[in-house]
Every structure is written in structure tokens, then in C-alpha cells.
Structure 1
Amino acid sequence: MSYRANHQADHSHYQPHDHARPHARRPAPLLTPAPSPAAQSSYTIAHAGKQVRFGPVVFWIVVGTVVIMGAWSAATATYFAFRDDVLTRLLARQASMQYAYEDRIAELRARLDRTTSRQLLDQEQFDQKLDQIVRRQTALESRASALTAMPDVGVTGSIKPAPRSSLSSDSGSSAIPKPSPINDTVIFVAPPDREARLESRTPAPTTNQPTQFAKIQGLDTTLVRLQTSLDQVETRQIATLNAVEEQYESRIRRMRGVFTDLGLDLNQMQGAAPPPPRGGVGGPFVPVKPPKDAETFERQIYRINVTRTQIDRLNRTLSLVPYRKPVLGEVEFSSGFGVRTDPFLGRPAMHTGLDFRASMGDPVRATANGRVDNAGWSGGYGRMIEIDHGNGLSTRYGHLSDIKVKVGDIIKIGQIIGAVGSTGRSTGPHLHYETRIEGEAVDPQKFLRAGVRLSSN
């Protein structure tokens, strides 16, 4: 197939000149009409001696169609060639997205499980903390009850003075003067405001315990505040208990110091001390010992109770020691113990007691428990009372204007036994007071000073 234009040469074959051969006579050219412009711009397809002529528009349409079909064929071939890769990439992308979603879902589920577990753990911890606070509060309340029930050490000493008006009215009346209160032993009386203080220090019990996890942001802060409050209450309780124990120990040291200062045999006197008051009491004897699993607080309570028992026994023993004043008011001596100038003879003489300055008729009180051995007139003593306190201790009260007891009477501390006077060998109203050990007169101020030390804080 060949394409030729109409303006090509009429000669189909080119024959070269043969210079060797003589020139042949050429035939004269045929005269043909000239082609038209339309014929010059058209295209001819020749095949096997046949020619097909068509215009440029058709030609370019055919060429464009062929190009388009070729491009389409190339694109289709490329698509089919790379289709597997594209699908693979798409599938991989879809799988990656699916895996990512699954991982995200798994992560959210794990987070949810962790959150749920954390909530359950927080709720369990909250319940444990709350239960711990409740148990601790119960223990502190029990300790507060123990502290409230624990008595305070009442400092004892000399007889407390009464108002002068009451004394004058009593002395002017015909009735027997009533003895003013005197503490011969340590009286355990809790202050009325102590229980209130302990209750105010103890936080209110928690009645409504939440059964579900409380989602309040300030819940932990509340628990911390409760713990802090309980810590403060426990600290105050320990401080109070330490103060009570120290006070008891100081008290018992002072009480034992009285016997040491006076040179008295404590063991002997404790054997002669009166037994504790009896009533409807009894039961088998069980030795006291602290529990094996007792905490520090309980052991300290145990020590304090033992000390209290010792103090009570020493109090009963000290009730036989005349270390109190026989008259009310401030101590004022008109004459001391020892050598002095005799008021009647003006010569040196031994004064075996103390002369307390007092008014006529002032009540005279027993300075210790005992029994009346003598009550009546006794030479220079005038009207005199002698009380035996046991263990060789005795006291004498002389120059009385009135005697209100008789021989054999059992006397209690602070009991009024007579009235101040000026009977016997006396220059005026006063009380002659003696203390004797095994019949020998000793300085009463020694006993009075021991009583002052005992009553001091």
C-alpha cells in the first residue's frame, strides 16, 4: 500500500541514463490537464492497483480515532497490568483502617476495664479507709470513756478554813459545831467539765456509710481531715494520760517521802492501816496483770491503775499520821517547840509542843484517825485530850475550854474534839498541841512541813 498525491510525476519508474548507450529518441510528452487545488489537498490510498481517495478531514478523523483507540488500549492494558497492585493497596489500606479501629476499640475497652477496676479499687480503698476511721473512732471513744472514768488526784493537806461568820454563829449557838470538810485521803472526783471536753474532742460518729463509690472530688480531702482530727484527739488523749500518770507518780513519791522525812517505817504502818471501806463487796482474788496483746495505751492505763491502788493504800496509812493542822486558818504560833523561857517562872524550860494562837471557843480538830486514850483534866495541860494513832504515834491537845469526846471513842480526821481555852498553866486563850513517837515528844512542825510538801503540786 502506498500513498501518493496527484501532482506526482507520471513516470512510475525512474530509469537512469545510460551514457554508454546512444541516446534513444524520446517520445513526445502527452499533454494532460493540470490538477485542481482540491485534488492537490486530498489523500489517496493505493493497494493492488486500486486507489481510494479521501479528504483531509476524514483522514484526520481516522487518525484521531486510531490514536484514541491506541491510547484506550494502552490505558486498559496498563489498568489490567496494575489492577492487582491497586486492589492490594486498597485492601491493605482497608485492613489497616480496620485494624486501627479494632485496636482503638480494644484500647477503649481496656481503658474502660481499667477505669472500672480503678473505681472498684477506689471504692474498696474508700470502704477500708472509712472502716478504719470508724474502728479508730470507736477505740478513741473507748479511750475517752476510760479517761473520763479515771479519777483525778485530789491534793490533800490541812483542814480548809471556814468563813468566820459561820464559826461565830456556830460558837454562839447551842448546837454542836459541825466539822468542816477535810480530805484525809486522795479523793478521786472527775471534774464536771472533763467529760464535756473529751466529748467535744471526739468527732461525731459516722452513721451513714455509703455503700456505693462516692464520686465527690473532695471525698479524699474529707477522709484526710477525719484522719487529722482523729490524730489530734489521740494526741490529746496520750498527753492527758501522760499528765495523769506523771501526776500519780509525783503524788506517790511525795507520799512516800512523808514517811522518809518523819523516820517512820512504811511497811509497819501499812500493816496497821485500816482496811478499805467495806460494803456489799466480795469475790475471788484474781491478780492483776496486763493483757498480752495490750497496746501502749492499755499498758499505761494498767500502770496508772496499779499506782492508784498504791496511792489508796498509802492514803489509808497516812490517815494515821498527824500531819494536818488542829485549828482552822493560817498557822500562827505563839510559842514554838524546844527550849524557851517559862512564862511563869522566867527560867529556861522545855516546851514539848506548839502553841497555836486562837480565839476562845474556836473548834479543835483531830489531825489523824485514832482512838481517845485520855480526855479530862491533866495538871498543867488543864483540860486535855490524848489520841492514840497507832504505831507509837499520839497527839495531845491542851488548855481546852471544852471536851467533846470521851475515852475509847474512835476519832476520824477533822472531827471536832474540843474547843480552844485557857485552862491549866496558861496565860491566855490558845491551843497547846503535841506530837509524840513512842511517848517521846517531837517537833510538830516536822509533821506539818511534811503535810505542806504532800499537798504541794
Structure 2
Amino acid sequence: MSKSSAQFSQYPQHHPHDHGRSFNRRPVSTAAAIPLPATDDAYTIVHHGKQVRLGPVVFWIVVGTVVLLGLWSAATATYFAFRDDVLTRLIARQAEMQYAYEDRIAELRAKVDRTTSRQLLNQEQFDQKLDQIMKRQTALESRATALGAMPDVTGSIPRATPQRGDAAPPQGTPKPSPISDTVIFVAPPDREARLESRTPVVANPQPNQFAKVQGFDNVLVRLQTSLDQVERRQIAALSAVEDSMESRARRMRGLVSDLGLNLADLEAAVPRTAMGGPFVPVKLTANAGPFEKQLYRINVTRAEVDRLNRTLALVPYRKPVIGEVEFTSGFGVRSDPFLGRPAMHTGLDFRAATGDPVRVTASGKVVSAGWSGGYGRMVEVDHGNGLSTRYGHLSEINVKVGEIVKIGQVVGLVGSTGRSTGPHLHYETRIDGEAVDPQKFLRAGVRLSAG
């Protein structure tokens, strides 16, 4: 192969496959040669006298194709020569990537498990704390119920059916007065302390949903704070009740002592009512807390106050008339209003208007009801244990002999019968038949009501 400007040989070319063959050489005329243009850039391929002209573009395409085929053959040969090593490295790389991927998955799974476990633990702790709070709230509600159910121990005895001469019932809370058995026990405002809400502040958590730990803590702190406030109010209320009852019991025992009376004798004179039942001793449980112990002490004191109330219902330390006490004549020696000579006055004269109700100052039994000399119309009530009271100069008597009267019951109306210079009530207190100063009993009643 040569450019067209090259001169082809004048001799026939010898083909390698023609060895052994006889050739008849014929002379080739030089004139028979195909002249080629000298300026042509084409490539000519001559084989057995045949010529193929290729342009430069086609030539380089053929050359490029041959080169590419050669490179591809070399690459293929190289691949097959080294494919075992390549495959080994590829497999190792793939295995390494797979192991790394599995390790990553395992790490993420472990992280998820830890997070889930932590959330479950937080949820469990929250549930436990919430359960404790709910139990505490239930206990506080039970305490509040116990405080609310605790009766007031005032010792006041309901008045009988209104009778003629009774004043209109006072509006609002009556003032402490010996006629109504001294003081009315008023519980502190926190007596019936209640929980602000019987429903927990926090809503029930939705299934499979967990709040943040900080949110849990905030909710629990609010609940604990609310319950602490309720508990403090309950303890304060219970302490106030205990102090009040103990103070009242002391004053009641002191009243008996001041009057020189025997408490045992007074208790023995208390009429028995229809009561009974099996004896069940009061005792505290082994796990009783401070609240239960304090409540136990209050119940014991309340029982004592109730017993003293029944006992003191027989002691005439109350006023026989309603309103301000005004004496027109005291107990002891005085100038007789009719004779003007010194005389012993055995009672107290209360200023009152004709027709004002006269009330018995202690429970007892009527032993006299009628005209009695200088007393005029007079009622005498025996309170037992040697105590008795007399109500003289009545304009009208509302009871009869043998009748059982209660504290505050109207026994008659103020008048001026008998040895009297004007409407008033003559009131006497006697021990074993001997007249004693009624003011001693009235003063003891005032001290009891003032506590």
C-alpha cells in the first residue's frame, strides 16, 4: 500500500500461495500501468493487481476501528487473566459494605431500643408517681370526709315546742348565753376542707404516646403542691378542732371544780337513756399515721365532752331570762322592801316585764308548781344530786308537778305575785336545801361561754 504517486513495480507481484506453481510470466507493458494523479491524497491498497482507493476519513475510521478492537482484545485478555483477583476484591468490598450496613442497622436498632426502654421506664415511673398521688388524694378525701362528718359538740339541748310568751327566734347566729348552754361551738372555716378537684389535673396519657420527662415533672410538681396545700389545711383544721375540744373539756371540768361539786356524783345523777350494744374497744391500727392518731384523740375528747355536756345539763349555770342581765336585788343581807329592816335575801331579783318567759336553767323534775307564801306563784325544779332552783312571783305557771323539763323550757311568765313590789323574777339556787348565791353559778357559766 502506497500513495498513488508511488510507482508500482513493473513485475508481477508474487503471492506467497503461488509457491510450487508454474507461472507463465508475461511481460507487462509499462504502458498498461494506470497512472495516478500526483496530487491525490487518497490511500490505495493493491492486491493481486487489484487496487482499492480509500479516502482519508474512511482510512482513519478503519484504523481507529482496528485500534479499538485491539484495545478491547487486550482489555478482555487482561480481564480474563486477572478476573479472579478482581472478583475477589469486589466480593470483599461488597462484604465489607454489607457488614458496615448491618453494623449501622444494629447500632440504630440498639439506639431505638435504648430510647424505647428509656421512654418505657419514664412512663412506668410517671405511672407509679401518679398512682401514689392518686392514693394520696384518695386518703386526703377520706380525711376531708372524716372532718366533715365530725359532729359539733356544743352540749346545747334543743328547746321544747314554742310556748306562749316566747320571743321571736333570733335571726342569724345567737350570741353565747348561759340560757342556751353557754357557748356555741363554731368550727374553723377550714373545718370541712375539701380537695379543689376530685379529678387529677393531668389528663390520662394516650396509649403508645409518651410525654417529655420535663413535662411529667412539671405535672407531678403541680399535683404535689396542690395536695400539700390541702393536707396543710386539713392538719390546721384538725388541730383547731382538737384544741377547741380540749379547751372546752378543761373549762367544763373547771366549772364543776369552781362550784365545789363532785363530778362523779353528778354523773351518777344523769338519767340513763335507752342505749346499748356490744362493747368494741377503740384502738388504732398498727400503721396509723399522725392524722389518724390525732383524729383518735379528738374522738376520745369528743366522747368526754359529750359526757360532760350530759352531766352539766343538770347544773343550773344558765340565765333564767332572755336578754341583758339586770339585777334589782342581789343575794345576801338587804333592807326588807316592806319593813325596812335587815333581812336575808335568798336569791336574785331579775328585772323583767310582766309576761316575759321564764326558762329553767337546767334539766330536772318539777317538784313544786303553785302558790307558795311570799313567793306567790312559784315553780321549783329538782336537778338531782341535791341541786334545785326556784322561780317566784310568776304571773302564770306552765308546768305541773312531776313533769320532766329540759334546759331552756318555759316554766312560767314573769309577774308580781306574792310579796313583791313590782314585776320581776325571783330566782334561787339551792344545794341540799340551802340557798346559795346564784351568781356563783352564773359567773361559772359566763366563764365557760367565754372560752
TM-score (norm 1): 0.68
Q: Give how far 1:167 is off.
A: 3.9
Distance of 1:337 and 1:158 partners within structure 2: 31
Alignment of structure 1 residues 299-448 onto 2, 5 Å: 299-448=293-442
The amino acid of 2:112's aligned partner reads L
User: Distance between the aligned counterparts of 1:381 and 1:166, measured in 2?
Assistant: 23
Residues 156 and 413 (structure 1), Cα distance of their counterparts in 2 relative to 1, 3 Å cut? closer
SS across alignment from 2:193: helix
Per the alignment, residue 62 of structure 1 pairs with none
Instruction: Check if 1:227 corresponds to 2:221.
Output: no
How much does 1:206 deviate? Answer: 7.1
What displacement does 1:283 show? 2.9
- Once residues 268 and 183 of structure 2 are traced to their aligned partners in structure 1, the CA distance between those partners, rounded to angstroms, is 19
1:17 equivalent in structure 2: none
The residue type equivalent to 1:313 in the other structure is R
Name 1:265's counterpart in structure 2.
262
* TM superposition shift of 1:415: 1.0
- The equivalences for 1:55-454 within 5 A come to 108-154=108-154, 167=167, 183-184=180-181, 198-199=193-194, 201-205=196-200, 209-210=204-205, 212=207, 214-217=209-212, 218-276=215-273, 278=274, 282-454=276-448
> How far apart are the structure 1 equivalents of 2:158 and 2:297?
29
Aligned partner letter, 1:265:
N
CA offsets 1:68-102 (integer angstroms, 9 cap, x no match): xxxxxxxxxxxxxxxxxxxxxxxxx9999999888
Mapped partners of 1:243, 1:298: distance in 2: 15
**Equivalent AA in structure 2 for residue 254 of structure 1:** R
Q: How much identity, in percent, do the aligned residues show?
A: 71
Q: What secondary structure, in the 3-state scheme, does the structure 2 residue paired with 1:417 have?
A: strand
Select between 119-128 and 95-104 the one with higher mean Cα deviation: 95-104
Unaligned 5+ segments in structure 2 are 1-92, 169-176
Deviations, residues 317-361 of structure 1 (Å, cap 9, x unaligned): 011000111111110000111121111222222211100000011
Tell me if structure 2 keeps the 8 A contact 1:401–1:418. yes
Q: Tell me, yes or no, if the aligned pair for 1:274 and 1:316 is still in contact at 8 Å.
A: no
Q: Displacement of 1:106 after TM fit?
A: 5.9
- Give the deviation of 1:400 after TM superposition: 1.1
Distance 2:323 2:199 in 1: 48
Shift in CA distance, 240/396, structure 1 to aligned 2, threshold 3 Å: same
Secondary structure of the residue aligned to 2:343 is strand
Indicate conservation of the 8 Å contact 1:123/1:212, yes or no: no
Q: 2:231 and 2:292 mapped to 1: Cα distance? A: 13
> Contact conserved, 2:126 with 2:216, CA < 8 A, in 1?
no
2:71 aligns to what?
A: none
Q: Which structure 1 segments of 5+ residues have no match?
A: 1-92, 169-179
User: 1:225 and 1:214, CA in 2 relative to 1: closer, same or farther beyond 3 A?
Assistant: farther
Q: Contact between 1:384 and 1:400, CA under 8 Å: does it hold in 2?
A: yes
Structure-2 separation of matches of 1:375 and 1:232: 60
Contact 1:157 1:324 in 2 (8 A): no
CA displacement, residues 92-126 of structure 1 (integer Å, 9 cap, x when unaligned): x9999999888766654443333222111101101
Equivalences, count = 350
